[in-house]
Structure 1
Amino acid sequence: MHGQRGNDCGRRQPTPGSRRLARARSQCLLPGSRRCRTVGSWCPGVSAAEVRRFLERHGLRANRDLGQNFLCDPELAGRLVELAGVTVDDTVLEIGAGLGILTRALAARAARVVALEVDSGIVAALRAEGALPANVELRHADALTEDLAGLASVRGPVRLVANLPYAVSAPLLRRLLDLRGLLVDWSVMLQREVAARLMARPGSRDYGSLAVLHRFTTDVSQELRVSPGRFFPRPKVQSSFLRIRPLPEPWIAPGELAAVERVVRAAFGQRRKQLANALRGSQLWTGESVALALRAAGVDVRARAESLDARTLLEIARSLPPVPQTVP
């Protein structure tokens, strides 16, 4: 037994997942490499020139309306997969396949990858060049309207990894909260400003409904800061890679998020107003019901939402009368 333990505690034996990831790195994720032969005929390296050639070959360009900034660093992609905690048993949903660099890194570690890409030209180019491994299902789909719950309702652990465009970051993050019962966790690349809003604390400039709703239901950690040079075209801002885990004991009951969200959004809807005035101004509650709710939570009527922590806001939300679902 002691001899076996000695062998086990020596050099760590590679797992099937680590072998696949190492193989992908050695054959496809080498910095500066212009070609790889593991998957199809094309695998972009780290240079912007290679990415530009790929786009030009298919008559494509980065679409500003879609907020496209393609990840073009395979070494970073491998690091992101590790930080996301992807395992050999996982099905991974990827929002925004882009040029497939992160997709391939995910496929090297996960059992299966379902990659969504809204740009039909990118989808056609990836398929034409055979750029993705066999365990990747590439879908032309908009993550804002796609049935993500249906995709996540599969046997075995499901994670989500995404490089989210700035324009749709907030609505997509909100959609993911509704999947918290189906996902192990979700890891997202965000512009630094959005990440700051997500992790903001009471009293800060960035504190708002996005941070509060996530505080009710998740634990958010910043795993990595990413410089603009890792993307093409180069964005004007820094990025952050966050990992978001559902709380084992969330503060709210199943089905309660939508009702609480109405209160939170009304509270932060007019930031310069006192909370009592903001809630009354939403025309969802009477002045009397607002006053009673603030009194029950021990909150001064002159307080502003941005000064209150999530626990206090939740107490206020639960003290207000429910709003009928038919009210917009």
Structure 2
Amino acid sequence: MSNKAGHQARKRFGQNFLHDPGVIERIVRAIHPKPEDTLVEIGPGLGAITEEILAVNPRLQVVELDRDLIPVLRTKFFNYPEFRIHEADALSFDFSQLADDDRGLRIIGNLPYNISTPLIFHLLGQAGVVKDMHFMLQKEVVQRLAAVPGDNNYGRLGIMAQYFCKVQPLFEVGPGAFRPAPKVDSAIVRLVPHETLPHPAKDLGTLQAVVRTAFNARRKTLRKALGSLITVDQLQSLGINDGLRPENLSLADYVLIADLLVDQKVSDAGSEEVSND
């Protein structure tokens, strides 16, 4: 389906252009942009949200992969000389290069459904330079981000998002707000990186490996799901019931398991050194 600017929404980029003025206004109100903010928009599309943000913050920067959209954006916003377009794939883009020393990045975007999960993981890895993030996502993805132990939607995405950020679902958006209309409901979410991590892990890579291993076998009990990493005795020493399923453990529990594995690795390395002397 084409639109006013004559651009065909592309399936391979997962494009669904926002056009509902009421929804756009509500999103911008939730973002609450200020002139001094360092704002970056991912996938501006035809500039529906871009236009509203630029009116407040003329230094907005955008990251856009579809090269056919770039001349549309340049033409539409030619009267904003500080407006910058980065022609790049957000999945591999280094957002930290855009951060000012004294204020964090504010990242916004109507994220394509087909890349939203890997893109969020990519951005979480750069959370240290981010002040906040506001995203339009598939409603189910927002539910996964905000899920708590015991929820059907609880898993790796929610655990790692909550490790780095406070997750605030804001409101839902129906398919009619987009062209073409997607087959799913959408929702707006706010992610605010923690100033101090509530449950810091001794080694992030170990935590990620534990969570990934657990949820690769989410229907199994912990003794089976994590059997390749940790013994039943070790789980019980942490006060964790080995008969539970991965979805029953909190972020704090996963950090406990990961830290025990890190300590064990250090201990094993130490005893190996002693035996080699």
Equivalent residues in 2 for 1:14-163 (5 A)?
52-55=3-6, 60-130=7-77, 133-163=80-110
Q: Which residue of 2 aligns with 1:214?
A: 161
Quote the sequence identity (%): 34
Q: Which residue of 2 aligns with 1:308?
A: 249
Equivalent residues in 2 for 1:252-263 (5 A)?
252-253=199-200, 256-263=203-210
* Separation (CA, whole Å) in 2 of partners of 1:155 and 1:212: 29
Q: What letter is aligned with 1:296? A: S
Contact 1:120–1:140 (8 Å) recurs in 2? yes
Q: Which residue of 2 aligns with 1:291?
A: 232
**SS of alignment partner, residue 129 of structure 2:** coil
**SS of alignment partner, residue 221 of structure 1:** strand
Q: Which residue of 1 aligns with 2:143?
A: 196
Q: What letter is aligned with 2:148? A: R
Tell me: CA distance 1:67–1:189, structure 2 relative to 1, closer, same or farther (3 Å): same
Give per-residue Cα distances to partners, 1:106-161, cap 9 Å, x unaligned. Answer: 11222521101111111122224556733321121110011111122455342011
Give per-residue Cα distances to partners, 1:209-265, cap 9 Å, x unaligned. Answer: 111112222111111211111111111111111111112221344884333111111
Q: Which runs of 5+ in 1 are unaligned?
A: 1-47
**SS of alignment partner, residue 87 of structure 1:** coil
* Separation (CA, whole Å) in 2 of partners of 1:176 and 1:240: 19
Q: CA deviation at 1:96?
A: 0.5
* Separation (CA, whole Å) in 1 of partners of 2:79 and 2:204: 38
* Separation (CA, whole Å) in 2 of partners of 1:104 and 1:165: 19
Tell me: CA distance 1:157–1:202, structure 2 relative to 1, closer, same or farther (3 Å): closer
* Separation (CA, whole Å) in 1 of partners of 2:217 and 2:131: 35
**SS of alignment partner, residue 299 of structure 1:** coil
**SS of alignment partner, residue 90 of structure 2:** coil
Q: Please tell me whether Structure 1 or Structure 2 has the larger radius of gyration of its CA atoms.
A: 1
Runs of 4+ aligned structure 1 residues displaced above 2 Å come to 73-79, 124-135, 152-158, 251-259, 289-293, 321-324
CA RMSD of aligned residues (A): 2.3
TM-score by length of 1: 0.74
Give per-residue Cα distances to partners, 1:160-191, cap 9 Å, x unaligned. Answer: 11111111111111122122221111111101
Q: CA deviation at 1:298?
A: 1.1
Q: CA deviation at 1:273?
A: 1.5
Higher relative contact order (CA 8 A, sep 6+): 2
Q: Which residue of 1 aligns with 2:126?
A: 179
TM-score by length of 2: 0.87
* Separation (CA, whole Å) in 2 of partners of 1:61 and 1:246: 36
Q: How many residues align?
A: 265
Q: Which runs of 5+ in 2 are unaligned?
A: 266-277
Equivalent residues in 2 for 1:208-287 (5 A)?
208-253=155-200, 256-281=203-228, 285=229
